[in-house]
Chains A and B, each alone.
Chain A
Amino acid sequence: MNLRASLAPLAFLLACTRAPSSNETVLTFSGSALGAEGTLVARQLKRFMQLNPGIRVELQRTPDDASQRHQLYVQWLNARVGNPSILQLDVVWTPEFAAAGWVLPLDKYGPEKSKFFPATITANTWAGQLYALPWFADVGLLYRRTDLVPNEPSSLEEIVADARREMARGGGPRYGIVFQGARYEGLITGFVEYLGAFGARIIDDSGNVVVNRPEAVRALEFMRDELYDSKVAPLEVLTWHEEEARFAFQNGNAVFMRNWPYPVAAMSDTAQSPVAGKFAVSPIPKSATAPNGHSTAALGGAQLAINAYTDHPAAAYKLIAYLTAPEQMLERAQAVGQYPTRFGLYTDPRLASAISIPMESARRAIESATPRPVTPIYTELSEILQIELHRALVRQAEPRDALDAAAAKINALIERTGMRKLMRARVAPPPQPPDTNGHGE
Chain B
Amino acid sequence: MRKISRLGSEARLGWTLVAPALAVIALIAIFPLGWTFWESLHLHELRMPWLGKPFIGVANYVEIAKDPRFWAALGHTAFFTVVSISLELLIGLFLALAMNRVFRGRGFVRAAVLVPWAIPTVVAALLWRFIFESQGGIVNALMIKAGFLDQPMVWFIEASTAWVPVILADVWKTTPFVALLLLAGLQNIDLSLYEAAAVDGANAWWQLRHITLPLLKPAILVTLIFRTLDGFRVFDLIYVLTGGGPGTSTEPVALYTFNALLQNLRFGYGSALSVVIFVITFALAMLYVRGLGVRLGGDES
Give residues in A with beta carbon < 8 Å to B: 67, 71, 74-75, 78, 96, 99-101, 182-184, 235-236, 238-239, 376-377, 379-380, 383, 387-388, 390-391, 394, 396-397, 417-418
Q: Which residues of A contact B265 (CB under 8 A)?
A: 71, 74
Also in contact, A183 and B245, with CB within 8 A (given A71-B262, A383-B263, A396-B159): yes
CB of B283 to closest CB in A, whole Å: 29
Smallest CB gap from A101: residue in B: B49
Also in contact, A100 and B159, with CB within 8 A (given A183-B243, A238-B246, A239-B154): no
Point out which of B135, B159, B259 has the most chain A C-beta atoms below 10 A from its C-beta: B135
In the complex the two chains form, what is the Cα distance from A235 to B159 in whole Å? 14
Question: B157 touches which one: A71, A96, A239, A387 (CB < 8 A)?
Answer: A239
Question: How many B residues, CB 8 Å from partner?
Answer: 26
Q: Which residues of B contact A388 (CB under 8 A)?
A: 247
In the complex the two chains form, what is the Cα distance from A391 to B45 in whole Å? 27
Q: Which residues of A contact B103 (CB under 8 A)?
A: none
The answer, yes or no, to whether B7 is at the interface (CB within 8 Å) is: no
In the complex the two chains form, what is the Cα distance from A96 to B48 in whole Å? 8
Q: Which residues of A contact B49 (CB under 8 A)?
A: 78, 100-101
Chain A binding surface SS class: helix
Smallest CB gap from A397: residue in B: B247
Question: A235 touches which one: B154, B243, B247, B264 (CB < 8 A)?
Answer: B154
Q: In the bound complex, do residue A390 and residue B263 qualify as a contact, i.e. CB atoms below 8 Å apart?
A: no
Also in contact, A418 and B51, with CB within 8 A (given A183-B246, A236-B154, A387-B247): yes
Q: In the bound complex, do residue A239 and residue B248 qualify as a contact, i.e. CB atoms below 8 Å apart?
A: no
The answer, yes or no, to whether B212 is at the interface (CB within 8 Å) is: no
Smallest CB gap from A418: residue in B: B51
15 A-B pairs with C-beta separation under 8 A: A67-B263, A74-B46, A182-B245, A184-B243, A235-B134, A238-B246, A379-B47, A379-B263, A383-B264, A391-B247, A396-B159, A396-B247, A417-B48, A417-B51, A418-B51
Q: Which residues of B contact A377 (CB under 8 A)?
A: 48
Question: B47 touches which one: A96, A236, A387 (CB < 8 A)?
Answer: A96
Also in contact, A396 and B264, with CB within 8 A (given A235-B157, A236-B134, A417-B48): no
Smallest CB gap from B248: residue in A: A387
In the complex the two chains form, what is the Cα distance from A183 to B46 in whole Å? 24
In the complex the two chains form, what is the Cα distance from A228 to B157 in whole Å? 13
The answer, yes or no, to whether B205 is at the interface (CB within 8 Å) is: no
In the complex the two chains form, what is the Cα distance from A235 to B244 in whole Å? 18
In the complex the two chains form, what is the Cα distance from A22 to B265 in whole Å? 39
CB of B67 to closest CB in A, whole Å: 11
In the complex the two chains form, what is the Cα distance from A391 to B158 in whole Å? 10
Also in contact, A238 and B263, with CB within 8 A (given A78-B49, A387-B247): no
CB of A340 to closest CB in B, whole Å: 30
CB of B7 to closest CB in A, whole Å: 51
The answer, yes or no, to whether B228 is at the interface (CB within 8 Å) is: no
Q: In the bound complex, do residue B47 and residue A238 qualify as a contact, i.e. CB atoms below 8 Å apart?
A: no
Q: Which residues of B contact A235 (CB under 8 A)?
A: 134, 154, 157
Q: Which residues of B contact A183 (CB under 8 A)?
A: 243-247
CB of B238 to closest CB in A, whole Å: 13
CB of B246 to closest CB in A, whole Å: 4
In the complex the two chains form, what is the Cα distance from A367 to B50 in whole Å? 34
CB of A32 to closest CB in B, whole Å: 22
Question: A100 touches which one: B48, B157, B243, B249 (CB < 8 A)?
Answer: B48
Q: In the bound complex, do residue B50 and residue A418 qualify as a contact, i.e. CB atoms below 8 Å apart?
A: yes
The answer, yes or no, to whether B156 is at the interface (CB within 8 Å) is: yes
Q: Which residues of A contact B248 (CB under 8 A)?
A: 387
In the complex the two chains form, what is the Cα distance from A294 to B135 in whole Å? 35
In the complex the two chains form, what is the Cα distance from A410 to B172 in whole Å? 40
Q: In the bound complex, do residue B245 and residue A390 qualify as a contact, i.e. CB atoms below 8 Å apart?
A: yes
B residues 209-255 in Cβ contact with A at 8 Å: 243-249
Smallest CB gap from A392: residue in B: B247
A100-B47, A183-B243, A377-B48 are known; give 18 further A-B pairs, CB within 8 A: A74-B46, A75-B46, A78-B49, A99-B48, A101-B50, A235-B154, A238-B157, A238-B246, A239-B156, A239-B157, A379-B47, A379-B263, A383-B259, A383-B263, A383-B264, A390-B247, A391-B247, A394-B157
